[in-house]
Amino acid sequence: MAHRPYIVGNWKMNGSRTMLAEARAIDRAALRYPEVQIALAPPFPFVGLLREAVNAIGIGGQDCHTAAKGAHTGDVSAAMLADIGADFVILGHSERRRDHHESDSLIRAKADAALAAGLGIIVCVGETLDERDAGQAEAVVSAQVDGSLPLGDAALEAAQAYKLAVAYEPVWAIGTGRVAAVEDVVAMHAAVRERLAAAYGDAGAKVRILYGGSVNAENAAGLLAAQGVGGALVGGASLTADAFLPIVAAAGQGEG
């Protein structure tokens, strides 16, 4: 695939104004890795601040509402994110699915809203340990892909495929220090690619599939070199430049 590897840091509910220094350090270092697409997704209060602080990397949100505006206290619309300079939004992360009871259909509606606002999207999918142990991992993830991906006519899908990424994050590996075996990652990414092809035809080949789940400097090279892995969605290791940049470097070394 011709895409650059996509390395995205998800700060989750972490951050402060002092962390602008970390974002700036990552941004400066990005100039050394033009072969890698790099982005950060901070909490909502810091999206605009990071956008003003950096130049070379993308900045995104961690969620958005389905509506462009309205009586939705505490929510943020995709249009608002775009207005303050966000490039993309993460949708359907397992923590949102679990803590906020988000369904596939809700995530799909958010994806449609984000694309309509001009944002790129990263749609997250992944199975629990119980589902994997029961032999249901591929079925669960495939159903999440089918139910969560944006819809539209074929022309729209082909034109916007480059703005869509899918992040496979086994729920049992997020924040636990456990990492899926490379052969399992390859198998799951192949299953996701099959569903993308079913949904979008040839345009499905343009969609990058990222791996997430305790990605760090030690395991990044092996994961990013695996067949079908187009990048990484990084959690805790994205909070500092010292932890995040080795992952970016691993992506650069693996390119081509």
Catalytic pick among 22, 65, 93, 127: 93
Phi, psi of 42 (to 5 degrees): -85, 175
The span from the CA of 151 to the CA of 180, in Å, is: 30
The span from the CA of 178 to the CA of 236, in Å, is: 13
Catalytic pick among 95, 131, 157, 169: 169
Number of helical H runs and strand E runs in the chain: 11, 8
State both tokens at 18.
Answer: 């002092």
Query: Closest Cα partner for 126 from 95, 90, 94?
Result: 94
The span from the CA of 139 to the CA of 234, in Å, is: 24
Q: Is 169 a catalytic residue?
A: yes
State both tokens at 234.
Answer: 């990084």
Q: Which residue reads 């939705």 in tokens? A: 72
Q: Is 93 a catalytic residue?
A: yes
β-sheet bridge partners, residue 209: 166
Q: Which residues contact 249 (CB under 8 A, 6 or more apart)?
A: 33
How would you label 80-90 residue by residue, b for 16+ Cβ within 10 Å and e otherwise? bbbebebbbbb
| CB half-sphere exposure, 162, CA atoms < 13 A | 6
Q: Alpha-carbon Rg of the chain, whole angstroms?
A: 17
Q: Confirm if 71 and 38 have CB atoms less than 8 A apart.
A: no
Catalytic residues: 93, 169
